[in-house]
Amino acid sequence: MSTDELLTFDHVDIRFPIELNKQGSCSLNLTNKTDNYVAFKAKTTNAKKYYVRPNVGVVLPRSSCEVLVIMQALKEAPADMQCRDKLLFQCKVVEPETTAKDVTSEMFSKEAGHPAEETRLKVMYVTPPQPPSPVQEGTEEGSSPRASVSDNGNASEAFVDMLRSLLVPLFSNAASSTDDHGITLPQYQVFINFRGDELRNSFVGFLVKAMRLEKINVFTDEVELRGTNLNYLFRRIEESRVAVAIFSERYTESCWCLDELVKMKEQMEQGKLVVVPVFYRLNATACKRFMGAFGDNLRNLEWEYRSEPERIQKWKEALSSVFSNIGLTSDIRSNESKFVDSIVEEVKKVLIKIGTEEREL
């Protein structure tokens, strides 16, 4: 039996429009035209560059499954728009009671005597479509072009208000949503606190998309609002019930990150927020002792803001308070995809716990 007879793909390759510093995504439909239950597992030749969800699963007879492939943002244009990366899909017939949680690498291991059928899809770069030329409004005779936001003396506030309607969905009208396993997730907002320019187009981008795939109502500063109006982000923290604080090596370079953390600590102490610390490619113990680059960056920031001792003290207290929570840790050798999954699962557990506790009140 060939792979095509088990699963068919709606694409023979995976095409990503290339836009620098912007993630790309492509969806695939895997169709099972047989009367068998078919398990699959996806692999990439560059695990740090691509994020595949779901990367394992079971496709029911005569049905299909959608798979999303996310490519990390490129910082420079590839030479001749060429790419040598590939995605490998392994598949085999399994018993009807098999679920996605039962699918392991061992099931597809040739060495273990479990050969699987394989399909390789090549990754291709394409030029993004050009947008139509903009038509300026209000240029008819006797009228003037519409005033821009910058014409307003209070541009900062106006800009934030305009962005509120443009951001990726932040809130849901529904009280809850159901994930693929039938678990009801309360639609409390989840706030992500991180060092923007370091992680926005890589790890955090993967995490946000993974959360949204799991129907988690997540907010992140996707358009760098910190330099515009920090109060806007404080309001988003107040509206959240869960926050994920992602500590990275350069986190303590940012006074904005630390100010957000202070606000999170205040909400946490009032019982209004649960904070989940994440140590990204860091040793958690070293961070808690302010050692290494993490500690050096904090001391440099302290020197820069030495005229504001009370603010510095609040930063340190917020760090110590959040560090006391049970966190998740990765290092340079960690599988980033699995680490993202572990964060998503932890957030789901917290959301379900909050929902359960509130229903019991």
**Does one domain contain both 176 and 249?**
yes
pLDDT-derived band at 277 (thresholds 50, 70, 90) equals very high
CATH code, 104: 2.60.40.10
pLDDT-derived band at 180 (thresholds 50, 70, 90) equals very low
CATH code, 224: 3.40.50.10140
What's the confidence (pLDDT) of residue 186?
59
**Does one domain contain both 104 and 174?**
no
In this structure, is residue 336 part of a structural domain?
yes
What's the confidence (pLDDT) of residue 145?
39
In this structure, is residue 18 part of a structural domain?
yes
Q: How many domains does the chain have?
A: 2
For residue 12, is pLDDT > 60? yes
What's the confidence (pLDDT) of residue 169?
41
pTM for this entry: 0.60
Last residue of a domain, one of 65, 95, 126: 126
**Does one domain contain both 78 and 178?**
no
What's the confidence (pLDDT) of residue 141?
41
Mean pLDDT of all residues belonging to the chain: 81
Indicate which residues carry an active-site annotation.
260
For 96, the domain range is 3-126
For residues 93-103, give the mean pLDDT: 89
pLDDT-derived band at 177 (thresholds 50, 70, 90) equals low
**Does one domain contain both 117 and 174?**
no
Last residue of a domain, one of 90, 111, 126: 126
**Does one domain contain both 114 and 198?**
no
**Does one domain contain both 209 and 355?**
yes
What's the confidence (pLDDT) of residue 168?
40
What is the spatial distance between Cα 275 and Cα 273, in angstroms, rounded to a whole number? 6
In this structure, is residue 246 part of a structural domain?
yes
**Does one domain contain both 219 and 321?**
yes
